[in-house]
Structures are given as structure tokens and as C-alpha cells.
Amino acid sequence: MPADEPSHIGRYTLHGAIARGGMATIHYGRFTNDVGFARTVAIKRLLPELAVDPGFVTMFVDEARLAARIQHPNVVQTLDVIREGSEVLLVLEYVHGASVGRIQRTLAERGERMPPAIAAAIVVGALHGVHAAHEARDERGELLELIHRDLSPDNILVDESGIARVADFGVAKARGRLQQATQPGGLKGKLRYMAPEQVHGNTSRRSDVFAMGVVLWEMLVGARLFDGSYDGEILAAVLTARVPRPSARRVKVPPALEDVLVKSLARMPVARHATALDMAIAIESSITVASASEVASWLHELLAETLEAQHREVAAIERAEGEPSARSGDAPEHRARTRDEESLVQRRRGLVSAALAGGVVLVLLVLAAMAGRDETPAQGAATTSSASPARTPSPSSLPVGSELPASEPPLDEATSQPTPAGSTNRPRTDRRPRRPRSTACDPPFTIDSQGVRTWKRQCF
């Protein structure tokens, strides 16, 4: 698969590479879930040849575990870690902006230097992030004693809103880390930004202070502080070279800021600022630091084309992810899940339809029964007097659903029988002549197929 071809790993889609390093590549990434939530992220992907090495995998997972303990706006947030097959991924907050290294290279191409107020603002923000890392605690509330050990221009990002972020805790040292070094006695970090004691394997918070001092010096001067054509020469410069003040390079920097810078670059750790926060406060006291909006405005003027290209890249990824075909990587699982859900929906619809049909039939039967009862005349419920020899059985003695057996037709008021002795009822005096009975009334009832007798209304 081509390196920049979108690929699907777990819940994430990997797109084109943002940066490439010796251990990993950084990609644009996209997270989506089943309810439509989506987010653009940065995905750090361990190189395939290193993903089979248990030592590198452990170090990679360690980075995620440690970085997740740091919650600060000046630190790139770690969101997830994925290990699937031969792939090991670290999912990070996507920062739309540029690294300090990229900014410096652009300035060098233009023959320009970074304004001291801008440089101070970026470094102060990064120092607050470094201090947050130093103060990170584990689940028991104990200090992790975390030291970054790899602070450099490429690991400090400036987003388009003017906020600096510290990134890449891959070689950080911390108490309880599962993998402290890939090789016993190996050096961690970049030689140009390494404190002298770090070369000898001794690190502390003041080692990160020294590295930030080197970064600030290079941002102000626009050149390498410890330079050389090979590693041995660079290492010798770190250990023995005298650190010149920026003013010695004809750079206009407030003297108070130079004093802060010189202190941070002291060879002896005890002579430096005790913490990254102390250094940040000292810088803020020595110069009027640019605001975030001023840094953002300056950055947009410097890298307008780069930032716009990033916007286009992210917009294209989001459009592609919005199309159904863009999620083909997890399509088998997604399709299977959809088929199961559709089958369940169809079964539920069938049950509902059957229930509705049964209800309709029941209602029709009830209406039919009620219509049948309405056809029987109201007088049909009347019985003959107690003197009549034919008696009607009690309804309780009849089978369910049957009608009362037929008796003599109800008597017209004009032909009602005399009232038995002892009865309180008296015959009515408003007698009417009997209506002649037609031949259609012989007999005066009908019998249906069920044997139910129904009296004819016209016969009474």
C-alpha cells in the first residue's frame, strides 16, 4: 500500500503524512463512530520495521501512558493508543500550525530573525507546558518525576491561534517507566539541545531548562548554538564550548532577557533556574511578551501559504470521510452489523403487522356480533306472564354465544293476558285494534344456519 493512501486501523482512518522521523511517521487522521461523531486527529505511526521490536513497542506505549497524565493547554494531548496486528499507533490532538523548526527554516530562507517579543511568548508558553509535565502525577497522586529529555524546535508547535504546545514524550524519563532506554547506556534526545550532565546519563528538571535555553538562543539569533559537521564535534561543543550572549552576534535583545538566557545555559545545573516555571516568570519580567493574537497574526503573515494548504488538506479529508465509500476499511464489520440490525427491524415489523392484523380481525368480529344483536327487536327480550305454561330458561343455563330459545311471540298491548291474582299490574285501558297478520308472518320468525331464531319486526 502506498504510504499516503488512506488506510483503516481500528476506529481511525490514516491519510497523508505530515512529518517523518527516525522512529515514526505523523499522519493526518480521522476518527468516526456509528452515531456520526467525527474528529480530525494526528496519528503517530511506529515504523513497520520497529513495530516488530518489543523494546520499541514498549517505549511507544509508554509514551502514550505518560503523556496521557499531562493535562495542560501548552501540551499536545494524547487521545488514544492502538495496537492492531503489526500496527502500533499513537493518536494525538491535531494542531493546525507549524513547529518552531519549520518557522526558523522559513525565516532563514528569507534572511530574517524572529522578533524577541514573539520568541519570548513562544518559549514562555512551552515552558508552562514543560512545567506541567514535570508536575504530572500517577494514579496514586505521586509525582512521575517526568523529564522530557528531547526538547527541540521540532517538538514545539505553535498553532494558528498563537499558542505554543510541547509534543513528543517518546524518550521522556519517568519513575516506573517500563522501558527506560532502547540500549543500555544509550543517549536520549538530540545532541544539539542536550544538557552537559545528560551526556553523562544524569537528568533532572534543570536539564529541560537547559534545552529550552538553547531553543530560545537559536530563535533570537537565528543560528545553531552548538554546531558541528559530525556528532563528536557537536558533543564536544555541548561539553566545552563557551556560550556567547546574543548581543555578541549583533542581535538586539533586552539585557534583562539576555541575563535570563545566560542563566538557563549555565554548565552547572545548580546555577540554572530551578524549574521551567521559574524561567518562564523570569522571561515575562524581562520583556513585554507578545500576546497570543499578536503571535497568531505574525505567524499567518509568515506562513500564510502553509496554513492555507493545511486547511485545504483537512477539508479534503473531511469531505472524503463524509462519503459512504470512504469508510470501506471497516466496511465488512459495518455491513454485517447493518444486516443484523435490518433483520431485527424486519422481524419487529412482521410482529407488529401480525398484531395489527389480529386486532383488526378481532374488532370486525366484535362489530359483527354487535350488529347481530341489534337486529333482535327490543320486545324480543320480553317474556310471557307467569301464567304462561311455557317458561324461558335462565340465560346462565345456556351455552356461551347462544340465544334464548324461541317462545310464543310477544303479545301486543291490546292482547295482553289478564293480570294474575295478586299481581299489582293492571291491564291498560288504551286498547288498540289488532293489526291483521299477513301471510309473511307465518311463521313470524326466521332461523339462521346456526339455529338462532330472529323475530320479524313487521309481524308485531
Residues recognised as catalytic? 150
CA atoms of 286 and 261, how far apart (whole Å): 10
CA atoms of 22 and 168, how far apart (whole Å): 13
Residue 129 · residue 74 · CB < 8 Å: yes
